[in-house]
Structure 1
Amino acid sequence: MGELPWIFKLSLAPGLGPVKIKKIADTFDDVKQLSGMDVADISSSAEIDLKSAQIVADTISKKDRSAEKIFKRVQDAGWGICEYGNPNYPELLKEIYDPPPVLYYAGKLSKSDYNSVAVVGTRRATEYGIEAARSIATGLAVSGVTLVSGYAEGIDAAAQKAALDAGGRLIGVLGSALDRPYPVSSIPLMERIAENGVLLSEYPPGASTAASNFPARNRIISGLSLGVLIVEAPERSGALITAYQGLEQGRDVFALPGSIFSLKSRGTNILIKEGASLVVSAEDIVSDLIGRFRSFKINEKVEKEDTCLLSPEEEKVMKVLEDGIMHIDEIMRRVDYPAGRLSVILTKLEMSGAICALDGKKYKKA
């Protein structure tokens, strides 16, 4: 076996953790800079304590049989390892204070997952919450937005299934290792997500599942996303932890309003009172984030005259843009679609590479 990725080796060393490893990775471009370096210099350069610097020096200088076994186990299972600093590491996740040093994944990582929204909520959801989660998740999937969630029963599972049924792409974040999926009842759903997106875990194969894993997992859910939607949650809920972590990470937070008499909506109503954006549809979220979405061409050689893949609504917008650069207000006047619906259509066309967004809310055909 060749030399293992050095961040991968550090991630398995006890006593370091995500924050210190991020400091080390941001300070040193590769392991060659660290090789033979004095412990005191490692400490001062990366701004970590001497004990941690010693762990770094020891880890990179020695062969680690247990790390080799884990690496081989991942390869044999057909999974992947993406370490912090790898070009394929999710861009948004790199921004947070404590990104996972390593992501173990089943499925495929994609740059287009930059356009992601987390959808989470209570396990003990009401019929209202389930139906709302399905409706909004379907709308996000149809708009080309990647949905991020955990694997809790209730809101999370309802949103994931709806997005899959709509042909959407998903990121599922586990609070356990890939070989110890939890909850077991969600394994069929996890398999579907691996086929239509990617499953992620920061825990190596064989790692035990602790209760503390799940609050820690929530920072990854919000960290991967441009925005976080809380569909339904009581006042004390893990979903609210995700919302507040999203705020700390600079993410937009959205909440679905609920009855003032429902304990299951008390958390979301509080979020709205504290300043979260009130939403009732996927269009509300897309309209709010449209300026931050990026365009990703799935196929660089797209025949611009081939409109067979466009919906009638999209064809109508493309027809209007044949007249040249146009402000969104003028497009809306000509097609006569509601603002929220038009925003969704424009986002889909932009992400497919069919149109380009310009300054001043103007658009043109690509």
Structure 2
Amino acid sequence: MNLFSSELSNIFDNVVSPLHEASAYEALWNREGATFKKISDKFKDAENVRPSDLVPESEIEEYKEKLLKLLREYKINNLGIRLRGTLDYPERLTDDQNPLELFYFQGLWDLVFSPSVAVVGSRKVSEEGKRRTRKIVKHLVEDGFTIVSGLAEGVDTEAHTTALKLNGRTIGVIGTPLTEYYPKQNKELQSYIRDNFLLISQVPFIRYSNQSYKYNRYFFPERNKTMSALTKATIIIEASDTSGTLTQARAALQQGRKLFILNSCFEDPDIRWPAMYEKKGAIRVRSYDDIRSVLMEDIA
């Protein structure tokens, strides 16, 4: 369901207007105390409810104008949405504790249905961690998997760029709206993925633009839950005990996804999380065969 083409306002159909629902969703997000959990809770006890059912028409029209103005300002074209309950919404996302009701994308939507694996880890990755990322991604690409990551510094950047160098497929799931680039040095990389592959964001445009980084930073761990739900498995290259990557580790196990942790993490005496997650069902990776055997079994 595409929101915008050359004419931003000509997007209505007989069943549901993407712009109408996106405007209602943006309005819900701009209410005080809104979070993914609180918004998700509004839909859990009611069947066939859309964002527009929860927002007065006058408020929807107000936010429609705000949203269109912002998108024109940033020259955002070919923007699409996915709305829970419609045919194109990935059913896998409902495995999350708080499924997204609506999110945005740009690029080749069909990539979301390809077999995919998330490769994530520390922003301040070591040189050895970069080497391990390249090696893992090379094997995954050779086995036909799409590489999903979050376009952050460190492991994410290494995962995306390696996939591209190997003519593989990649999907970026970002922690900002599609109007933003974070970190700034990944602007070219993000634009390339948007134009040639797939870029996904669950972050509301208007709420993000109206608040400071102090509050916007909470969108980043939330996108990790989405990355996990979208993929067959998550592979963690490196992470500290306080890393946001562990949000994805928890989500993967809660969602019934495979969680792989490189053996080098277990050998690091400064962190304790690998052993804890192994007890909960994570798989220790001593060689790529430990990953391949599990993933290929799932495909078969």
TM-score (norm 1): 0.65
The Cα shift of 1:259 comes to 6.6
Give the conservation status (yes or no) of the 8 Å contact 1:7–1:101: no
Kindly provide the amino acid, as one letter, of the partner of residue 276 in structure 1.
Answer: A
Correspondence list, 1:1-366, <5 A? 1=9, 2=12, 4-5=17-18, 7-14=21-28, 15=31, 17-23=38-44, 27-28=47-48, 56=54, 58-59=55-56, 63-70=60-67, 73=71, 77-110=77-110, 113-206=113-206, 207-208=208-209, 209=213, 210-258=216-264, 262=268, 267-268=273-274, 270-272=276-278, 274-293=280-299
Residue identity over aligned pairs, in percent, reads 32
Give the conservation status (yes or no) of the 8 Å contact 1:233–1:268: no
Give the conservation status (yes or no) of the 8 Å contact 2:111–2:198: no
Kindly provide the amino acid, as one letter, of the partner of residue 277 in structure 1.
Answer: I
Give the conservation status (yes or no) of the 8 Å contact 1:229–1:255: yes
CA separation in 1, counterparts of 2:286 and 2:267?
18
Give the conservation status (yes or no) of the 8 Å contact 2:139–2:288: yes
Per-residue CA distance 1:243-297 (angstroms, 9 max, x = gap): 011111111110001176646765445533554111244443232022433xxxx
C-alpha RMSD of matched pairs (Å): 2.9
CA separation in 1, counterparts of 2:68 and 2:291?
39
CA separation in 2, counterparts of 1:279 and 1:124?
21
Give the conservation status (yes or no) of the 8 Å contact 1:11–1:21: no
CA separation in 1, counterparts of 2:155 and 2:273?
14
1:259 to 1:278, Cα distance in 2 relative to 1, 3 A: closer
Pairs aligned (count): 270
Kindly provide the amino acid, as one letter, of the partner of residue 12 in structure 1.
Answer: E
CA separation in 2, counterparts of 1:232 and 1:18?
32
1:31 to 1:247, Cα distance in 2 relative to 1, 3 A: closer
Question: Could you say which structure has the larger radius of gyration?
Answer: 1
Give the conservation status (yes or no) of the 8 Å contact 2:26–2:205: no
Q: Which runs of 5+ in 1 are unaligned?
A: 35-55, 294-356, 358-366
Give the conservation status (yes or no) of the 8 Å contact 1:258–1:268: no
Give the conservation status (yes or no) of the 8 Å contact 2:141–2:166: yes
Bigger mean CA deviation after superposition, 108-117 or 15-24 = 15-24
Kindly provide the amino acid, as one letter, of the partner of residue 216 in structure 1.
Answer: E
Bigger mean CA deviation after superposition, 75-84 or 250-259 = 75-84
Kindly provide the amino acid, as one letter, of the partner of residue 19 in structure 1.
Answer: S
CA separation in 1, counterparts of 2:161 and 2:112?
20
Per-residue CA distance 1:110-169 (angstroms, 9 max, x = gap): 165352211111111112211111111121122111111112211111111111111121
Give the conservation status (yes or no) of the 8 Å contact 2:136–2:288: yes
Give the conservation status (yes or no) of the 8 Å contact 2:228–2:248: yes
Q: Which runs of 5+ in 2 are unaligned?
A: 1-8
Partner of 2:109: helix, strand, or coil?
coil
CA separation in 2, counterparts of 1:243 and 1:193?
25
